[in-house]
Amino acid sequence: MKFTKTAAALALAGIAAAPLAQAEPVVTLSGSIGINLGSDDSDATDGKWTMSGDDSTLNIAATDTLNNGLTGYGNYRLDSALSGSSTGGDAIHIGVKGDFGDIRIGEVSNAIEYGQMAGDILSDVGSDQNGGISYTGSFGNVGVGLNFSPSQNQDTIGAGVKFNAAGFGIGIGVGDQNDASRMSVGASYGIGGATVALAFKDLDTYESIGAKVSWSVGDIGLGLTFEANQGDVAAQDDSKIRLDASYGLGGGWAVSSRVNMLSVGDSAVDDTGAAVEDKTDYRVQVSKSF
């Protein structure tokens, strides 16, 4: 029954798009199911392990050729968890692309992230923006991005540039989000299966530095990431280390592990004003992609 409903929905979507295209749209269904078993060393969990499925997604993508020869596309992703947990739409956007680049409306990438090349395990200059418009383009070894997301006097506007050549990568992103300036700049170098990346982020009231070393060969992947904040108040003086390991089993199956070690600044508090302490959390995940 569920498959029948999905097939009917996709068929209706294709019929609706047909007048705009010269050919039938190509609809791709993909996703992954990730089951996590994890815990942490906080007093709240008392060392108990919890099973979750927060990394499970179902993605529907459709592309077709427009009358002017450009490519139109749309995307919808469903993020889900185990039964009884929340489920919601994500990565919802439509766009048009061609030799000129890519124009997207809906949930768009934030170009301020272009310099965030060593991960965002502790602080983020600005994640994907809902209700926005973006442009991305590639010109030889240079990639550019622009985005604007209006939201009740808390507009986000960003611009970014990336350069890649001979294993080296350099990125910089600047902009304004929620009336606060944001900037990121980073560099990376990869050789064989190893990559080293460094990044600096300025988030108006505090700065962040990060470094990441990753290595992969065959089905094995390893990663070590470090990030530290330095701010105007002690609550922003946090640091985190993340260890990642993964092994591909073939057929879309993989097993991975992750350990996060958080060290907080003096007098650190969360959004409710409660004190935050140093914490280590860990998880093991089994996943299946399709």
Give the domain ranges of the chain: 1-32+54-98, 108-289
Digit-coded pLDDT (tens) for 105-155: 999 999 999 999 998 898 888 777 778 999 999 999 999 999 998 875 568
Confidence category of residue 7, pLDDT binned at 50, 70, 90: very low
Cα dihedral 100→176→262→236 (10° resolution): 160
Q: Quick one: average pLDDT of 41-63?
A: 86
pLDDT of residue 248: 97
**Which tokens is 290 given?**
């399709």
Digit-coded pLDDT (tens) for 218-230: 999 999 999 999 8
Digit-coded pLDDT (tens) for 235-257: 567 899 999 999 999 999 999 99
% of the chain with per-residue pLDDT over 90 = 60
> Domain 108-289 falls in which CATH fold?
Porin (2.40.160)
Q: Quick one: average pLDDT of 27-42?
A: 92
* Rounded Cα–Cα distance for residues 174 and 204 (Å): 12
* Rounded Cα–Cα distance for residues 171 and 114 (Å): 5
pLDDT of residue 8: 37
Q: Which of 45-49, 103-107, 163-167 has the lowest mean pLDDT?
A: 45-49
E strand spans, the chain: 26-40, 50-52, 56-65, 71-80, 88-98, 101-108, 129-139, 142-149, 156-165, 168-177, 180-191, 194-202, 206-217, 220-231, 239-250, 253-263, 279-289
pLDDT of residue 245: 98
